[in-house]
Structures are given as structure tokens and as C-alpha cells.
Amino acid sequence: MHTERVHDRAFTTQNYIQLCSAFCDEISPEMEGKKEEVLFMSKSINYFAEHDNFDVEDFAETVLEEGAVW
């Protein structure tokens, strides 16, 4: 039986979180430690919890810190 997941808001949010996780994994050698990785993922998850719609510019302003390694 072949099933396919429904492409709803939860699916989209999960995909964005996976994208953030992959980004974090990619740049982790440049980060100063696990603390920065956890902080980035925490801010990412909080962004999706607090916003109904994803806006890349708003996400960047909210999650990405100016001057941060990432």
C-alpha cells in the first residue's frame, strides 16, 4: 500500500525545520560550539511556533543574528 503524506501546514513547517537543521549541520564547523547550534534551532522552532506564515526576510531578522557566524 502506497501512502503519501498530506501537504498541509504541519508538513510544510516540518520541512522548514528540517531545512534549518540541515543548514545548522552544514555550518556547525564554523559555530563556536553546541550552544550556538542549540540556540539557532531553538530560535527557528520558536519562530514557527509564533508565526502562522513563513516570511524569509522576517525569519532572517528574527532568527539570524547580525554578526553571527552563520
Residue 43's pLDDT band (boundaries 50, 70, 90)?
Answer: very high
Res 7: pLDDT: 78
pLDDT in tens, 58-67: 998 998 876 5
Res 68: pLDDT: 58
CA 31 to chain centre: 16
10 burial via Cβ count (<10 Å: 0-12, 13-18, 19+): exposed
Query: Does the pTM of the predicted model rise above 0.75?
Result: no
The helix-helix angle for 56-63 and 34-50 (nearest 10°) equals 140
